[in-house]
Amino acid sequence: MLIAQITDVHIGFDRDNPEEANLSRFRALLARLAQGPNRPDMVLLTGDLTEHGDAPSYARLAGALADCPLPVWPIPGNHDTRAAFRAAFPHVPAREGFVQYALDAGSLRLLMLDTLEEGRHGGAFCDARAAWLADALAAEPDRPTLIVLHHPPIAAGIAWMDPDPDEPWIARFRAATQGAGRIVGVVCGHLHRPIVANWQGAPLVVAPSSAPALALNLCAIDADAPDDRALIRDEPPAFALHFWDGQSLVTHFESIGGFAAVARYDAKLQPMIRDMLDEPPGR
């Protein structure tokens, strides 16, 4: 099974431009997934789908998704608003006012979480949301489960974006997942960079962004001393592709750009490919 993840689309950043760059970037990702060699079984949209959470931006997003032949399942991020999000995606379940739901993907279950607190940049995960997650994990403790949320519950070293690891919402998420169920992975967005970490023994993957990327600078930052560092870079749009083989999760990343092939599988390279495929196991 292939599960694509697109995150941090930020439609409406250029409000007055119906063909804004972020929309073009998003369309390029959708086209690659639909037409490329690794067509996924579903697409996860993991938050910050719009810049301002406004209805016109969701309408642009819906227009881009109208011809998408793949099942699409979204969750909100801190730039989204629940009312406009739910109006744009009426098929997405909500419980107690939160956009949290489970997806059945054969041998794999996905638990889609809502870490939005409107008006706050960082994450949130209240008692009600944590109780839903704990109950879902307890209901099928042996079922391989992928947890999907917008905000990573870790500090990744990008100081101006990192949460305090002791924030209450992270403590609730930790308590709900500690020793609970068979969690095969946790996938997130928010940081606009491909990042791999660990969460209680399971891989934690942050997908790269559809919108421009965060510059990679792990130096400390001083709120009282601007140092002219780059914060956002116009890197190509990218997505994550999660491969589930029934036992474990493997994640690949792909960016979209004019990359030329420097080698192709033709008659000249056929002997090399044959040799590699026929090579006996190492001892």
pLDDT digits (tens, 9 = 90+) for 186-200: 999 999 999 999 999
Which two three-digit tokens encode residue 206?
Answer: 């942050």
Residue 104 lies in a domain: yes
Residue 58 clears pLDDT 90, i.e. is over it: yes
Residue 16's pLDDT band, with cuts at 50, 70 and 90, is confident
Q: How far apart are CA 116 and CA 44, in angstroms?
A: 17
pTM of the model: 0.95
The percentage of the chain sitting over the pLDDT mark of 90, rounded to a whole number, equals: 87
What is the residue range of 198's domain?
A: 2-278
DSSP string, the chain: -EEEEEB---BTTTTT-TT-HHHHHHHHHHHHHHHSS---SEEEEES--BSS--HHHHHHHHHHHTT--S-EEEE--TT--HHHHHHH-TTS--BTTB--EEEEETTEEEEE-----TT-SS----HHHHHHHHHHHHHSTTSEEEEE-SS-SS--S-TTTPPPTT-HHHHHHHHHHTT-SEEEEEEE-SSSS-EEEEETTEEEEEPPBSSPEEP---S---TT-------EE-PPPEEEEEEE-SS-EEEEEEE-S-PPPS---STTTHHHHHHHHHPPPP-
What is the CATH classification number for the domain harbouring 120? 3.60.21.10
Residue 99's pLDDT band, with cuts at 50, 70 and 90, is very high
Residue 283 lies in a domain: no
Mean pLDDT of 258-280: 89
Residue 215 lies in a domain: yes
Total domain count, the chain: 1
Mean pLDDT of 31-56: 96
Amino acid type, 115: T
Residue 281's pLDDT band, with cuts at 50, 70 and 90, is confident
The percentage of the chain sitting over the pLDDT mark of 70, rounded to a whole number, equals: 100
By mean pLDDT, which of 57-71, 168-182, 252-266 is the weakest? 252-266
Residue 18 clears pLDDT 90, i.e. is over it: no
Q: How far apart are CA 71 and CA 44, in angstroms?
A: 9
Amino acid type, 36: G
Residue 258 clears pLDDT 80, i.e. is over it: no
Q: What is the pLDDT of residue 273?
A: 85
Residue 150 lies in a domain: yes
Q: What is the pLDDT of residue 260?
A: 84
